[in-house]
Structures are given as structure tokens and as C-alpha cells.
Amino acid sequence: MGFTGFGKKARTFDLEAMFEQTRRTAVERSRKTLEAREKEEEMNREKELRRQNEDIEPTSSGSNVVRDCTQSSSSDTSSSESEESSDSSSDELIGPPLPPKMVEEPVNRMEEAMGRLPPPLHEEEEDDDDDDGDSEEEENPVQKIPDSHEITLKHGTKTVSALGLDPSGARLVTGGYDYDVKFWDFAGMDASFKAFRSLQPCECHQIKSLQYSNTGDMILVVSGSSQAKVIDRDGFEVMECIKGDQYIVDMANTKGHTAMLHTGSWHPKIKGEFMTCSNDATVRTWEVENPKKQRSVFKPRTMQGKKVVPTTCTYSRDGNLIAAACQNGSIQIWDRNLTVHPKFHYKQAHDPGTDTSCVAFSYDGNVLASRGGDDTLKLWDIRQFNKPLFSASGLPTMFPMTDCCFSPDDKLVVTGTSVQRGCGSGKLVFFERRTFQKVYEIDITDASVVRCLWHPKLNQIMVGTGNGLAKVYYDPNKSQRGAKLCVVKTQRKAKQAETLTQDYIITPHALPMFREPRQRSTRKQLEKDRLDPLKSHKPEPPVAGPGRGGRVGTHGGTLSSYIVKNIALDKTDDSNPREAILRHAKAAEDNPYWVSPAYSKTQPKTMFAQVESDDEEAKNEPEWKKRKI
């Protein structure tokens, strides 16, 4: 298993928890301040009442009564002034300003005691207009689709067949047909949109499915092998499922899958439990703590009791039901604790022989969406699982993992379409759940749309395509964090120290005399090299023309350079060596200069044999030959 890009584990901060803690602290502090101010006001009122009781004395004369009344009125005015001064002094509090809820609390108390005052006429009209606008937005779910902006993440050149986003929306993980799994951190990325980690957890097997657990600390990796793996957030292996015995007939008696996997899913409530389905015609549930044996086995069957291969599986939102779609076109739903007979079984949900690529439950848990290999998308009510609620056709698919999902408000159903290369563009299609009318579509790219994921917390849509791209669609006003964190960061420039320094070779067992000094910091090493006159010396340019100052010129200064120059200028064509030699034959015969003069004194005289004619040979023959003839 190859790992690249490993370093220290990144620290993760839960910003929502930090903001919530800060808000609670501010509210608590404001509440204490408000209680102290109310106590002070009550004490001031009691003092004023005591002072008024002491000033008022019963008398029989009217003048005294009038005088007392005037005194009481003056005391009332003075008390009111004192109260106002005390209020003004108490208003000047030390600390952060009060939140609007705490400031409006006295007003709310008065409204509860006296009743809410009717708003002015023009405010009523404005409220009516706002209500109309809100109702229009609620009636039109298309306005909630976050597609105004997009970013493109380059996974590779082959199909992105798996997408996974953690529950908090901080990290995205992608897998493809190139066996790679790449990690993307929205908070750590800049405008270059590069993955911070890449690995091959399943060696030479295509990645079929990736999913984060409900706690976000583990990732389920389902590949083309028969063994699923669980890795942590940093890519280290946590567990690997055991492989079963393929020679056992009853698949319930073996400990694991014996054939290629299709997909997998985490339990939405129970930590550490997940499910996988395989070509061995079983759906198995597992526990992370027990990788040596599955927890339970579900065996899909036809109406005649024969084996059938499940192509996809998922849990319901509450985790009590397990749904699986099979190659014979059926959809079967089991109770999680009852593995024998399915609770619901619809035998002709899609065309037989086609691979149903996805089944997904709605957020309310009552509706099931199925994406069939027969180019259809269907909705089912599990409370009346005898016929589909709606069906949409004309949605081509060419991949066994084409997705479908629900919008966070459960009003839209989303799926992707496939296209042949060079025959149009893949689309992301939106259907309204209530009427199942196609209300919107997005042209993604000139390749098939394989995976789609709509995160409820970020309100962003992730799409995996057939040409190796992962796209993220978002709206700056409707979406939260995610892609909004990395688009505002400028691309980081490569530091000079990172490009000039050499790699440090660690040899812990070498002798001290052969051990290299440890590099403390690349920046300090670069500054030290700049102070060294030998390392920071600029190379001198080559000498043009004749040499000077003890330096040889570029050419012509030495015999070798002169010969090389003349050989380079010789344009004679010596492609045929025989003709090149015979070209000098006549000159050598007329003026023998090289070979003949050297052997003139030692060369012997040439003596040639004399050739006799035929008549002379006949005369010289012996007599016995002539008599015989």
C-alpha cells in the first residue's frame, strides 16, 4: 500500500462548538448583569418609598395638606429624577454589550402583561408582502439549489467512482478507477485546489464506494476485491474484513465474502457497524472491533428461492431497515434483526438483468428512491410497497454506481446522467418529490455524471464525473463553509529554500566521521550558504574570442579545438568508403609518395613466369606420349 504526503496529523477545531461556548458565556454574563441591575432598581424604589412615608405627616389644616401635596409632588419629581439618574448610571455597564434577546426581555415581559400592541397599517402590509414572498420561496424549491458558483478538483484522468464527505463538511475524499484515494481539506486548501494526501489502500482494485462514519473518524473503503477496509482520517488502516471460504456452498457458514464487492454503508446510529454486499449473493453486516467474522448475513432470493446477486444496499435513516436491490430487478427490505425473510419484497422494481446502481432513503424515512440500470428513477413508499409512487425515464446510465439522493429539505430528488464520449455533456437532473416533475438540470461536463452528493450541513453539491473531475457547487449566500473557505485563499508560492536545499540522508548507524551534520532548518541553512563565498559565488560567463587572464577561449585556442573546428567544417561526403578510397588511386599511381618510396631500397625485383604456347608444348612432349596418341 503506497502512501504519499504523510506528515503530522492535522489538528481539527470544531468551530460551531467554540462559537456556541462563546455565545453561552456572553448570555450568562449578560443575564448576571441584568439581574444585578434589577436588584439595584428595587433597592432604590424601596428607599424612595421609605423617604416619602417619612415626609408625609397627617395634619388637619388644608394648607398643610396642600403643602404636603406640593412637597410630595416635589419629592416625586426628585425621586423620578433620582431614579432617572440611577438608571443612567446603571446603564453604563462595564463589559461587552448585551445581546438583543436580553435587551428585549423587559419589553417582552410588558407585552405579556399588557398584551401585544397591534402594528401600524403599513407594517401589516409589509408583513403580508414578506409572508407572500416566503410562501413563494417555499413553493419553489429550485431557488434553494446552490449552483451559482463551482470549483473543480482534479482527481486524475479516470472515472471518479466514489465520493465521501465527513459529517462536519471539513474533508472530502474521492476514489476512482485509477486505484487512488485522495483527501481534500477545504480549510487547508488554497486556490490551487490540490489534495493533501493520496494513497492506494486496495492496491490494484478499483474503488467502488467511500463513506465516512457517523462520527467522522473512520472511512469505509469498498473496492473490487472481496475484502472491505476501514481507514482513519489520515489514511492508516484500522481493520480489514476477512475473506470467506469459496468452496462452502452455504454462504451463511463462511466468515466473509468470497467474491467481488459492490458497495457498502455505515449504520447511521450505531458506531462501528457497517454493511457490504457482494457477488456471492449475500449482504453482510460487520463490526470494526471484530474483523474476523461478520455480524449477520442476509441472503437475497428470488420468488422461487434461487440465489440472486445484490448490486447495492443501504440502511434506513433510523437504522432499523436494510434495503438491497438485486440483478433480477427486485428490491428487498429486511428488518435489521431478522435475517431470514425480507419484510418487503417487490420483484419487478426494475428490468431484470440490469444493475440497479443506488437506493436511498429520504430524510423522513418514508420514501425510497431507486436508480435503475434501465435508465429510470423511481420513488417508493415503504408503507405501501406494492407499486412505485412515481417513475421517470430517459435517464441514461452506463456505470454500476450512478447515484441518486434527496435534498436536505426532502423536496427534491437528484441524479446524474451518462453520455458517450464526444456525444454531449453529462447532466445533474432535479425532480420535485411531490409531483416528480423535472424542475431543473445542470450541465456538468462533457463526460458522464457518476456520483452526486448533497451535504445537508454545508448545503453544497459534490459531483464525480467520468473524466476524473470532482466538482463542488455552492452559493455564497445559501451555503456554509466548505468550498467558500478555500476560494478566498490565494495560491501559495513555492519558497526558495524548498527548491535549493538538498535532501538530508539519515544514517543513524554510520560512524561519526561519515555521519552528515543534521540540518536544523532550511531557512537557516540557506542563510548560512549565502555567507559562504564559495557556495554563493556566481559562475563566470564563458570567454568570447581569444583567451585572457589564464582562461582559454571558447574555440581556436588549442590544437584540439582547432582540429575539431576544421573537422566540423569539412563537408566531404564519405557515405561510400570504396569510392572515397578509389578517388585517390590515379594520384597515387602517378606520384607514389607514401608506400612505394618507403620500400624502394628493400623491395625485390619482380620476376614473372614465362607462358609457353601450344606448339612449343607439343614439341617438348616425350616420345612415348606421341606413340600412344
Specify the pLDDT at position 567.
67
Answer with the residue of higher pLDDT: 474 or 569. Answer: 474
Neighbours of 56 (CB within 10 A): 13
Determine what percent of the chain falls in helix, strand and coil, rounding each to the nearest 5.
30, 25, 50
pLDDT of 603 over the 50 cut: yes
Answer with the residue of higher pLDDT: 597 or 41. Answer: 41
Model confidence at 579, pLDDT cuts 50, 70, 90, reads: confident
Question: What contacts 42, CB < 8 A, 6 or more positions away?
Answer: none
Angle between helices 15-55 and 62-91 (to 10 degrees): 160
Specify the pLDDT at position 439.
92
Specify the pLDDT at position 461.
93
Model confidence at 264, pLDDT cuts 50, 70, 90, reads: very high
Would you give the end-to-end CA distance of the chain in angstroms?
101
Model confidence at 231, pLDDT cuts 50, 70, 90, reads: very high
Q: How many angstroms separate the CA atoms of 581 and 588, rounded?
A: 11
- 369-422 pLDDT per residue, tens: 999 989 999 999 988 888 899 999 999 999 999 999 999 998 999 999 999 887
Q: How many angstroms separate the CA atoms of 316 and 336, rounded?
A: 10
Model confidence at 529, pLDDT cuts 50, 70, 90, reads: confident
Q: How many angstroms separate the CA atoms of 269 and 163, rounded?
A: 21
Specify the pLDDT at position 117.
43
Q: How many angstroms separate the CA atoms of 460 and 478, rounded?
A: 9
Model confidence at 171, pLDDT cuts 50, 70, 90, reads: very high
Specify the pLDDT at position 102.
46
Q: How many angstroms separate the CA atoms of 274 and 255, rounded?
A: 15
Specify the pLDDT at position 40.
87
Neighbours of 163 (CB within 10 A): 23
Specify the pLDDT at position 340.
80
- All three cell numbers of 477, joined, read 449566500
Q: How many angstroms separate the CA atoms of 12 and 235, rounded?
A: 16
Q: How many angstroms separate the CA atoms of 442 and 414, rounded?
A: 11
Specify the pLDDT at position 360.
94
Specify the pLDDT at position 402.
92
pLDDT of 103 over the 80 cut: no
> Does residue 240 contact residue 289 with C-beta atoms inside 8 Å?
no
pLDDT of 76 over the 50 cut: no
User: For residue 135, which amino acid is it?
Assistant: S
Domains and CATH numbers, the chain: 149-488 (2.130.10.10)
Answer with the residue of higher pLDDT: 594 or 510. Answer: 510
- Does pTM surpass 0.75? no
Most confident of the following: 8-12, 64-68, 370-374: 370-374
Share of residues in the chain with pLDDT > 90 (%): 37
Specify the pLDDT at position 81.
45
Q: Which of 3-7, 178-182, 330-334, 343-347 has the lowest mean pLDDT?
A: 3-7
- Summary mean pLDDT of the chain: 79
Answer with the residue of higher pLDDT: 313 or 605. Answer: 313
- DSSP designation for 513: G
Answer with the residue of higher pLDDT: 106 or 44. Answer: 44
Model confidence at 72, pLDDT cuts 50, 70, 90, reads: very low
Answer with the residue of higher pLDDT: 227 or 305. Answer: 227
Specify the pLDDT at position 10.
59
Model confidence at 123, pLDDT cuts 50, 70, 90, reads: very low
Specify the pLDDT at position 376.
93
Average pLDDT over residues 555-562: 65
pLDDT of 495 over the 70 cut: no
Burial category of 71 from C-beta neighbours within 10 Å (exposed 0-12, middle 13-18, buried 19 and up): middle
Q: How many angstroms separate the CA atoms of 321 and 332, rounded?
A: 10
- All three cell numbers of 405, joined, read 439522493
Q: How many angstroms separate the CA atoms of 1 and 201, rounded?
A: 6
Average pLDDT over residues 237-254: 90
Specify the pLDDT at position 325.
94
Instruction: Pinpoint the alpha helices (H) of 518-582.
Output: 522-531, 559-569, 577-582
> Does residue 219 contact residue 211 with C-beta atoms inside 8 Å?
yes
Model confidence at 597, pLDDT cuts 50, 70, 90, reads: confident
DSSP 300-326: -B-TTS-B--EEEEEE-TTSSEEEEEE
Q: What SS3 state is found at 522?
A: helix
Angle at 111 (CA atoms; ends 107, 116), nearest 5 degrees: 130
pLDDT of 194 over the 50 cut: yes
Residue 167 has φ and ψ, to the nearest 5°, of: -60, -35
pLDDT of 621 over the 50 cut: yes
Question: What contacts 451, CB < 8 A, 6 or more positions away?
Answer: 160, 161, 162, 163, 401, 402, 403, 416, 462, 463, 464
Sheet holding 171-176, edge to edge: 3-4, 197-199, 181-185, 171-176, 160-165
Residue 184 has φ and ψ, to the nearest 5°, of: -125, 130
Model confidence at 165, pLDDT cuts 50, 70, 90, reads: very high
Average pLDDT over residues 226-237: 92
Q: How many angstroms separate the CA atoms of 401 and 165, rounded?
A: 17
DSSP 431-463: EETTT--EEEEEEEESS-EEEEEEETTTTEEEE
Q: Which of 214-218, 224-228, 582-586 has the lowest mean pLDDT?
A: 582-586
Model confidence at 67, pLDDT cuts 50, 70, 90, reads: very low
Q: Which of 24-38, 214-228, 457-471, 612-626 has the lowest mean pLDDT?
A: 612-626
Which pairing describes strands 261-266 and 149-154: parallel, antiparallel, or unpaired? unpaired
Share of residues in the chain with pLDDT > 70 (%): 73
Burial category of 147 from C-beta neighbours within 10 Å (exposed 0-12, middle 13-18, buried 19 and up): middle
H or E element at residue 94: none
| Residue where the block lists cell 464487492 | 261
Model confidence at 591, pLDDT cuts 50, 70, 90, reads: confident
